[in-house]
Chains A and B, each alone.
Chain A
Amino acid sequence: MSMVRPAEAKGRPFRISLGLDHAAFAMIAVATAIMVSYPAVLVLLRSISTEDIGSPLTLDWIRALVDSRRSREALVNTAIYTAGSSALAMTLGVGLSFLSTRTDMPGARLLGLLAILPILVPPFIMVVGWVALADPNAGLINIAASMLFGGRTVLVDINTMSGLIWMTGLFLSPYVYLLVAAGFRNCDPAMEEAARVAGASRIGLLRTVILPLQRPALLAALLLVVVMSAGDFVIPSTVGLKARIYMLPSLIWQNSSTFPPQPGLAAAQSMLLVVIGLVCIFFQRRALQRGGRYTLLGGKGAGLTTFPLGRLRYPLAGLAFVFALCSSLLPILSVSAMAFMRFWAPYAMNLENLTLRNFRYVLFEYPQVWPSAQNSLFLAVLGATLCVLLAIVLGWYIVRMRGRFAGLVEYAMVVPLGVPGIALGVGILSLWILVPGGIYGTLWILLLAYITAHIPVALQFVGSALHRVHTDLEDASRISGRTLVGTLRRINLPLMRPALIGSWLLIYVVILREVSLVILLYNPSTIVLPVGLMDIWGSGFYPELAVYSLLLLVLGLVPVLLFGRFARFTAD
């Protein structure tokens, strides 16, 4: 005899008494979902408003976008740039991950490390480093070529579309590596053994089992680098502008910040990026989810078929290491060399020209450096911490409570992944510029932008770490008398610590170097390190630029070196 029929029981008060916790978690989750999704909406709205949001609607900006020659040119350039750098990043990322995980290549582990190292290297290092190496006049490679071949030989020129593609491809390759290598490594040996027993050759195995299983991961990686390169800001607005190769992100910046500003046109151009980004990221998520169906637990490395490289073993290893070095150590070394030079010109490449003056100047005399370093450190530490804390709440709400808005929140979290930083900046700006006495013009708007952009990454880490904690461990704690929050603190946090530290470090490093997000939001009193770098780039003092970017690198690396061994850096 049932005392309450199920139909009646639905919506009865005990469901509510179940969870003040639940309500609090749901509220935070929904608030975060709104926080991450309104910028995209506002970009669209701003692009069809005459003035700030709230003013009459118009199609003028869209029309201007279509009519402007520069916009069309930028669109074509962005397309070429995106295609080129994505192709390069894919080739490098997939190649290096296959070589380092599934072949008998010598030094495979070291290669794996080198391949992901560029994630820790700010793009400025890549830019300054490759300018130092491949500038048509004073690039080390060209100087060496001139000495070798006589006369003035320009072997490589960074101030070209291929130069831009080269840097961006290198810069993005570790993201491909991370997505794909995990798949190669986590193959189920039983599947491969079954194929081998069924008579497949090694190559047949690669063609019929290994690669098809990786297809979702490959697609996901491709779409990710497409989004990242289409929205990339630093390389197009430094070397790109110098070479007069206009792209959408750099044009948005110019339209918003040079006189006369055209925020409506900037918003229309941002909208184009937002649409491209969101479409790509939508398909990327789908590919990843489909990949999830193939996710193979149990099999971890042991027993996987390795592919012998035969006579190509050493040549391939050499090539792989050259590429891996090009994306991290080589630029760092050339930036370091540049930092010690009194001035930077082809004829200045000699020992008398070495000096510490640049360090003294940048670190002690340049007025902007310490305020901006302080701001950056404050924002990076606070931002990373808040991101991780927020992600724990969201992760719990989505993964464990499976609350009513879980699906909605998960969808919203995709938005910042698809919206390039500069467009996110446009969206955030167009809201807060309307709020008098609000956070516009303070550090808090930068903090908000950082958290908005990076919460999804933190959530991925926390989500996958949460999936690893068996719910029995939490249930056992609840039954033992600990409340939900007590259980989170005593059981989940310690068990998830490596992933939490890993995501904290990653977000810290990324916030420290992030420029596209804040380039439209900062003002002279809230300047941050990478924005300062853009200033110096404009002034053209390369040795000082080198010191400045090394400072950025070091500030980012210190906590990684200190705490990296307690961390887990993959969210697979």
Chain B
Amino acid sequence: MADPQQRRSAGDAKAGETSSVSVTGLSKSYGGAGSLRALDDFTLEFGAGQCTVLLGPSGCGKTTVLRSIAGLITPDSGRIAIGGTAVFDAAFGTCDPPEKRRLGMVFQSYALWPHLSVADNVGYPLAASGMPKAEIRPLVESMLEWVSLGGMGGRYVHELSGGQQQRVSLARAVVGNPRAILFDEPLSNLDARLRERMRLELLGLRQRRPFTSIYVTHDQLEAMTLGDRVVVMRAGKIEQVGSPEDVYKRPRTRFAADFMGIPNLIEGRLRATGPDGFVVDTVLGPLRARGWRTGRTVGESCTVALRPTLLACSPDIGAGAPLGRVIRSVFQGTSTIHMIDVAGTTITIESFSEERHGDGMTVRVTPAEGAVFALLDD
């Protein structure tokens, strides 16, 4: 397949590489007298060719970061540089309008223009740059093939399915060879199955041609699969940055763990520390944890995370293990989820047998080796 980027670069020597984006000290307030801090001293480097995922609950400022980079919002202070040149700098009064920043963006609402055909939608950034029609046509066609929509250029947007619309929107974002592509929850309007397929497609497209992407979502699965790096945000600040594996395995705070979709965050009290780990008292008794944080004192309260797959529950095995009452047992296809109430704390256990327990039954809960995998700040 002809690669559109290559062709464009061949014809246009200036066509930029995919660039890094660096954001320094960005702040933005809303409301009278700046009462609502949507973004609070946000600093982050988005690597060239990397996909950085911004993850966080609703209202934490993800969209604000993205739109500030795009130039759709003017932050109160800070600096944004794309490929080393400042597009926004409050100190020097620089603020390039969006059309000068050479970015691409994929919107949650797709934002396709209903009065233009699919081909005109995709070709719009090229037309805006003054490229002649004859050159646009082949580029658009190869772009549409890239997103597996070859031959659909003559259709109108309302004649496409949601997934197809989002692919058109992706093609439009990529076609102008932007320095970075911004995604604002691009998949959240799609149903679960389509979302999964689009996620894998997006991954495939990115593997064939890495482009700098900044991807906003509150779906941790998307974050894990698409991100080279995950940024967990909370109330306009960065809570934790790291590779998806890093953040999942070593969430720094309870908030981050919660947001990475880790169940079984239970309260405990530190009983002993040693060179190879900690012992924590919990409702499941003393648990040995391989903590990665040091400098804790005995007697301190803390949160531990328990892997649902490394816990077992059974009415008969495990004499001496703590007792729990089954709240619910749900068969999920590949596994069974048990929710157990142990002394007032709800524990989620995932077992790969199909055995289910009746509601209200008393079982013993036994953690296997390595069940405790993090020790979190509160």
List chain A positions with a Cβ less than 8 A from chain B: 1-6, 8-10, 12-18, 470, 472-473, 475-484, 486, 491, 494-495
Contact = CB atoms under 8 A, between A and B. Distances in A.
Contacts of B101: 479
Nearest to B72: A475
B164 interface: no
A481 B34 contact: no
Interface string B97-129: 111011111010101111100000000110011
B74 A4 contact: no
25 contacts: A2-B25, A3-B91, A4-B77, A6-B29, A6-B77, A14-B89, A14-B94, A16-B93, A17-B94, A18-B95, A472-B107, A472-B109, A473-B113, A475-B98, A476-B107, A476-B172, A479-B101, A479-B104, A481-B102, A481-B128, A481-B129, A482-B99, A482-B124, A495-B114, A495-B115
A3 B24 contact: yes
Contacts of B176: 480-481
A476 B27 CA distance: 24
Contacts of A470: 109, 111
Given A13-B93, A472-B109, A478 B24 contact: no
B78 interface: yes
Nearest to B92: A14
Interface string B61-101: 00000010011101011110000000011111111011101
Residue with the highest number of chain B CB atoms closer than 10 Å, among A14, A18, A470: A14
Interface string B237-273: 0000000000000000000000000000000000000
A13 B95 CA distance: 10
A188 B90 CA distance: 47
Given A2-B27, A480-B176, A494-B115, A475 B78 contact: no
A483 to B, nearest CB: 6
Contacts of B113: 473, 476-477, 491, 495
B124 A3 contact: no
B41 interface: yes
B111 to A, nearest CB: 4
A401 to B, nearest CB: 12
Given A1-B25, A1-B41, A3-B25, A479 B90 contact: no
Nearest to A494: B115
B100 to A, nearest CB: 8
A482 B98 CA distance: 9
Contacts of A10: 76
Given A2-B78, A4-B78, A18-B74, 4 more contacts: A6-B34, A6-B76, A478-B72, A479-B70
Contacts of A4: 77-78, 90-91
A352 B24 CA distance: 92
B87 to A, nearest CB: 11
Contacts of A5: 77
Given A2-B41, A475-B107, A480-B125, A15 B98 contact: no
B70 A480 contact: no
B114 A6 contact: no
Contact of A480 (B25, B89, B91, B172): B172
Contacts of A8: 77
A126 to B, nearest CB: 39
A366 B72 CA distance: 61
Contacts of B77: 2-6, 8-9
Given A3-B25, A475-B70, A9 B90 contact: yes
A476 to B, nearest CB: 4
B352 to A, nearest CB: 43
Nearest to B41: A2
Contacts of A472: 107, 109, 111
Nearest to B178: A479
Contacts of B172: 476, 480
A494 B97 CA distance: 23
A396 to B, nearest CB: 15
A21 to B, nearest CB: 9
Contacts of B34: 6
A479 B97 contact: no
A78 B111 CA distance: 53
B124 A480 contact: yes
Contacts of A16: 93
B124 A477 contact: yes
Contacts of A12: 90, 93
Contact of B90 (A1, A14, A480, A495): A14
B95 A479 contact: no
A480 B104 CA distance: 7
Nearest to A473: B111
Nearest to B175: A480
Contact of A483 (B70, B88, B99): B99
Contacts of A473: 111, 113
Contacts of B129: 481
Interface in B140-167: none
Given A3-B24, A479-B105, A480-B172, A14 B74 contact: yes
A250 B38 CA distance: 59
